[in-house]
Amino acid sequence: MTKKVLVCGAGGFIGCHLVNRLVAEGCWVRGVDLKFPEFSETTAHDFVIGDLRNQSVVQAVVDCRFDEVYQLAADMGGAGYIFTGDHDADIMHNSATINLNIADACYKRNIKRIFYSSSACMYPAYNQEDPNNPNCAEDSAYPANPDSEYGWEKLFSERLYLSYNRNHGMECRIGRYHNIFGPQGTWTGGKEKAPAALCRKVAEADDPGVIDVWGDGSQTRSFLYIDECVEGTIRMLRSDCEVPVNIGSDEMISINNLVRMVASISGKQIEIRNIPGPEGVRGRNSDNTLIREKLGWAPEMPLKDGMARTYSWIAEQVANAR
């Protein structure tokens, strides 16, 4: 029988790629979002424009017993959005309300399987002060001390879904995403994240040129290409893994080295100017021990391959915008 799937946040970056993959697999997919995908037509069989903060919208969208629900909708953005403090009330209120509504509507339809997209931002800031040695093992989450309200909301919602599992026999699955990037992601306007912002800056720069980079550039991160994120997400939802698991790459790189990688992909000679700006924790890397153990799988694509695909898409957007 055809699987019926609901993707919440299907107009967003990850949601839109996830819908494509599920449709290609032969699932019947309904997407819901405040907006249609920005850079391509949705392939979802049904797409509802609706506000998931509104309980009656959620009840209307969750109108049958879906086999799988992927909950990706959230009020989010890059460092320029979540670390300035200016959007904290919106981030907490909007995302928590969405999750409260979806968990309950699924429970009342007897839907068991929900995938919830948490974030590495829920890990304690005190374990991410050394850029060369961050600790993001899943069991390091407590005592909790995320570095942003965005991270606190993720932690709250993880616990919400785990409570529904415990009290209502649901089988929610939680992935903690670490910096997902790729084509068709936000690349300008303030909500874009580091890989897209750096690709844009390099694509817009002269050759030779100079680009501004937030922080001293020695802060580290890992970045996961979108196709592997989608793969990990689907594997996680279909697994019997009851605990939250990292979905990320363990190829850690400093931000200045990421700029150098993008520059070499572009063929341009780029000088880096490090300037003050929101940068989040000093170091973060995915610890993939648990995902290997639980799913027998972990992401493996080299960062450079994903960055090359992303740079070429963003360079095209920049050229079209001129």
Q: Which of residues 90-119 bind ligand NAD (CB under 6 A)?
A: 94, 98, 117, 119
Count of H-run helices and E-run strands, the chain: 10, 13
Number of residues interacting with ligand NAD: please give it, by CB under 6 A: 25
Nearer residue to ligand NAD within complex by CB, 49 or 210: 49
**Which residue of 6, 22, 52, 155 would you call a contact of ligand NAD, by CB under 6 A?**
52
**Which residue of 27, 180, 230, 245 would you call a contact of ligand NAD, by CB under 6 A?**
180
Cα separation, 36 vs 48, in Å, equals 9
**Which residue of 76, 234, 245, 253 would you call a contact of ligand NAD, by CB under 6 A?**
76
Q: Of the candidates 306, 172, 189, which has an alpha carbon nearest to the alpha carbon of residue 240?
A: 172
Question: 267 exposed, middle or buried (CB, 10 Å; 0-12, 13-18, 19+)?
Answer: exposed
Contact 194, 254 (CB under 8 A): no
State the residue for tokens 């020695």.
218
> Is 13 one of the binding residues for ligand NAD (CB under 6 A)?
yes
Q: Is 150 tagged catalytic?
A: yes
**Which residue of 28, 34, 140, 264 would you call a contact of ligand NAD, by CB under 6 A?**
34
**Which residue of 81, 123, 161, 177 would you call a contact of ligand NAD, by CB under 6 A?**
177
> Is 51 one of the binding residues for ligand NAD (CB under 6 A)?
yes
**Which residue of 72, 202, 241, 245 would you call a contact of ligand NAD, by CB under 6 A?**
72
Contact 136, 287 (CB under 8 A): yes
Question: Is the torsion defined by CA of 198, 83, 119, 126 positive or negative?
Answer: positive
> Is 187 one of the binding residues for ligand NAD (CB under 6 A)?
no
> Is 14 one of the binding residues for ligand NAD (CB under 6 A)?
yes
Q: Of the candidates 153, 70, 163, which has an alpha carbon nearest to the alpha carbon of residue 114?
A: 70
- Residues 6 or more apart in contact with residue 6 via CB below 8 angstroms: 29, 30, 31, 32, 61, 62, 66, 68, 69, 70
Contact 265, 198 (CB under 8 A): no
Q: Which of 150, 161, 164, 177 is labelled catalytic? A: 150
> Is 157 one of the binding residues for ligand NAD (CB under 6 A)?
no
- Tokens in use for 61? 């969208």
**Which residue of 7, 19, 74, 234 would you call a contact of ligand NAD, by CB under 6 A?**
74
Nearer residue to ligand NAD within complex by CB, 9 or 217: 9
Nearer residue to ligand NAD within complex by CB, 184 or 270: 184
Q: Which of residues 128-147 bind ligand NAD (CB under 6 A)?
A: none
What's the CA dihedral at 103, 184, 191, 197 to 10 degrees?
140
Q: List contacts with ligand NAD (CB under 6 A).
A: 9, 11-15, 33-35, 51-53, 72-76, 94, 98, 117, 119, 177, 179-180, 193
Which positions are catalytic?
150
